[in-house]
């Protein structure tokens, strides 16, 4: 070790030891200070007040939610937003039909998944626009203006969504899940609880999506059969029918304006 560094380290250590020994003695020699009562701190709103305001608002009071609780609620909604988007809107039917269409064309990665999801997302926004607008007018705007509380806002926002889901759900599926849950008899469709309507709606959407996908698949299966029969009759058994049939599928799809026909049919299927 460098002698200069060693000397410097000894000096620092000696100073620290001196301060450690002198400080207690100085504290004992100093005159005790007269204790002065500190002024009571001003009350500040804490979590308890926020909870009280939140409970008052949820119970029908006029006090708005605090900013921290609003942020907490928004973050919680963002965490369940994918589930809401997938299971309570038209997204499920659209993405399944588009995936079946890509499979029927014989294209594995074209269009890519990102394009299919984007198409499904924006078409879902187009289909759900009237429902979202009704939720905004009846629930979100009055709540932002302080005219209604959080409980009323949730109830009013759920009514348009409930009506949309009920319109697309089969009575058979609602009856099945109501029987499984052993729910009391439902007087009218509008009284169907979300706990029964949601699984029934998803089941109906899956069935409808596969029905539409089956109808889309039929003309492309005919093309595959014709191509396979022609190749077999020519003795070209080593030639893959899929490779030969793909250009004819694409030609047929382009001639009938397949994308516009598919997107328009999907959008109109929710209007009926």
The region of weakest confidence among 39-43, 88-92, 174-178 is: 39-43
Residue % of the chain over a pLDDT of 90: 8
Question: What is the model's pLDDT at position 207?
Answer: 92
184-222: pLDDT as tens digits: 888 888 888 888 888 899 999 999 999 999 998 888 888
Instruction: List the chain domain ranges.
Output: 79-215+258-271
- What 3-state class would DSSP assign to 11? helix
Cβ(126)–Cβ(267) under 8 Å?
yes
Average pLDDT of the chain? 75
Rounded Cα distance, 155 and 190, in Å = 13
Give the residue among 120, 78, 70 at the shortest CA–CA distance from 100. 120
Residue 99 clears pLDDT 80, i.e. is over it: yes
Question: What is the model's pLDDT at position 201?
Answer: 92
Q: How far is residue 186 CA from its own chain's centroid? A: 29
132-183: pLDDT as tens digits: 898 888 888 888 888 887 788 888 888 888 888 888 899 898 889 988 888 8
């Amino acid at each position: 070790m460098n002698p200069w560094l060693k000397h410097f380290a000894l000096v620092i250590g000696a100073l620290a030891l001196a301060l450690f020994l002198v400080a207690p003695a100085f504290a004992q020699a100093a005159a005790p200070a007269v204790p002065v009562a500190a002024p009571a701190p001003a009350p500040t709103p804490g979590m308890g007040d926020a909870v009280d305001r939140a409970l008052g608002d949820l119970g029908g009071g006029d006090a708005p939610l605090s900013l921290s609780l609003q942020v907490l609620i928004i973050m919680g909604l963002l965490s369940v937003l994918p589930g809401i988007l997938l299971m309570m809107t038209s997204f499920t039917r659209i993405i399944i039909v588009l995936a079946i269409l890509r499979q029927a064309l014989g294209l594995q990665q074209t269009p890519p998944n990102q394009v299919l999801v984007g198409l499904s997302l924006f078409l879902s926004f187009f289909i759900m626009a009237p429902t979202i607008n009704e939720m905004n007018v009846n629930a979100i705007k009055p709540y932002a203006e302080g005219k209604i509380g959080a409980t009323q806002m949730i109830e009013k926002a759920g009514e348009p969504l409930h009506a949309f889901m009920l319109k697309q759900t089969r009575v058979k599926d609602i009856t099945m899940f109501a029987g499984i849950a052993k729910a009391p008899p439902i007087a009218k469709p509008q009284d169907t609880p979300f706990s029964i309507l949601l699984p029934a709606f998803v089941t109906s959407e899956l069935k409808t999506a596969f029905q539409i996908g089956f109808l889309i698949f039929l003309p492309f299966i005919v093309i595959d059969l014709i191509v396979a029969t022609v190749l077999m009759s020519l003795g070209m058994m080593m030639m893959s029918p899929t490779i030969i049939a793909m250009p004819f599928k694409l030609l047929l799809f382009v001639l009938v304006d397949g994308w516009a026909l598919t997107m328009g049919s999907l959008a109109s299927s929710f209007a009926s």
